[in-house]
Amino acid sequence: MDPLTHFFDGPRAVGAFALSMHMSAPWGVNVCDNAALTVLAVTKGRARVDGTLLQFGDVALIRGPEPYSVTDAAGNAPSIEIGPGQRCTSLDGRDLRDELRHGIRRWGNAADGETALLIGTYERPDEAGGLVTRALPRLAIVQSEHADGALVSLLANELAHNDPAAQVVVDRLLDVLVVGTIRRWLNSTDRPAEGTWLTCNDPLIVRALECLHAEPAAPWTVESLARRVNTSRASLAARFRTSVGEPPMAYLTRWRLTLAGDLLQAPGSTVSGVARTVGYYNAYAFSTAFKRQVGTTPTEYRQRRPTLSPGPVPLKESSHQGSFI
């Protein structure tokens, strides 16, 4: 499986936080929610993300977990803060949830301001696809003429109604919007040219990536990978670093542990079995490497992530009700 195919099968929103935000100037919001990835679409007016102007119809992806600001087009100073758990307060700590709520998924300082934004958030890297969130720039923008306006409209319409299974539909539409936006960003002529696996266009390195993705458990070395793609060790190492942004074996480790995160969620999987599947034959070494990358042990990772329920989650039970909105 090539890297893009794996990622495009990756986003798995579960009870995603999503809303329609309506604002009248002057306004500004500091977002410190520690989310892994946020998608933001301008459905009316204009706004700025960390000072970068977004026009009507633009769609942006914001890579976390670092804080960022969203303000009116004039760039007024923020007076609202969104914290972990989507808690909404004034800068001095006053709770603003009820004051700014205008419906189940409608929020802002005005019921119908001159600016409207559609916002969807993946709170954890395992929901958004940990490998791609590291490959994206801090702010990836797809301008209106290249964005999927029809999909944005579908999501906006779903957010405006409390239909049965609304959360399930929002989750899936959000996944498709993120994937579609990344595809359009990759095809954009004005995107940055930094080397990552996501933007690699060197045919030899693409073949090397396909080898690593097809056989993650193989005992790869730079030399064996170079033989597979018919080049020298030195040439592979240099071209890989230029195209992908890191050495081949560092990328392989990251890829193995990203796959492990997916496999750990499979029913009946074991830590030792997952370790072997991704090329670790020592469970302790696997656990150490996994914790270094993910921040938690494989066992803790399995326990903390909710599983998909077989049926729709009632809206009133969503973990996000009563926080930001």
pLDDT per residue as tens digits for the range 204-225: 998 999 899 889 999 999 999 9
- 139-142 sheet: strands from edge to edge: 106-108, 17-23, 115-122, 37-44, 59-63, 139-142
Instruction: Tell me: pLDDT of 28 over 80.
Output: yes
Strand (E) or helix (H) holding 141: strand 139-142
Mean pLDDT of 249-266: 86
Q: What is the DSSP-derived secondary structure letter of residue 6?
A: H
Mean pLDDT of 245-256: 91
pLDDT of residue 18: 87
Token pair 């798995």 in the structure block, residue: 12
Q: Per-residue confidence at 164, pLDDT binned at 50, 70, 90? A: confident
What are the Cα distances from residue 285, in Å, to 126, 271, 290, 298? 21, 12, 8, 11
Q: Report whether pLDDT(188) > 80.
A: no
pLDDT at 227 over 70: yes
Q: Contact, 174 vs 155, CB < 8 A?
A: yes
Under 8 Å between Cβ of 3 and 211: no
Q: At what angle do helices 233-244 and 248-263 cross, to 10 degrees?
A: 60
Q: Which pTM was predicted? A: 0.72
Beta-bridge mates of residue 52: 49
CB count in 10 Å sphere of residue 34? 14
Residue 307's CB is within 10 A of a number of other CB atoms, namely 9
Give me the architecture of the 10-186 domain, per CATH: Sandwich (2.60)
Is 225 buried (19+), middle (13-18) or exposed (0-12) by CB count in 10 A?
A: buried
* pLDDT tens track for 108-141: 999 889 999 999 988 766 555 555 666 678 899 9
Q: Region 21-37: what's the mean pLDDT?
A: 93
Residue-level pLDDT at 7: 59
Q: How confident is the model at residue 76 (pLDDT cuts 50, 70, 90)?
A: very high
Q: Which is it for strands 47-49 and 106-108: parallel, antiparallel or unpaired?
A: unpaired
Cα–Cα distance, 149 to 230 (Å, whole number): 44
**pLDDT tens digit string along 86-103?**
899 999 899 998 888 887
107 near 101, Cβ under 8 Å? yes
Question: Taking the domains of the chain in order of start, what are their residue ranges?
Answer: 10-186, 200-304
Q: Look at the block and give the residue holding tokens 């790869």.
A: 220
The mean pLDDT of 131-158, rounded to a whole number, is 87
Q: CA nearest 46: which of 62, 69, 25?
A: 25
Looking at every residue in the chain, the average pLDDT score rounds to 84
Average pLDDT over residues 187-215: 79
Q: Which residue has the higher pLDDT, 259 or 306?
A: 259
Domain 200-304, architecture per CATH: Orthogonal Bundle (1.10)
pLDDT at res. 111: 87
Question: Binning pLDDT at 50, 70 and 90, where does residue 183 land?
Answer: confident
Convert the pLDDT of each residue in 41-66 to its tens digit: 999 999 999 999 999 999 999 988 89
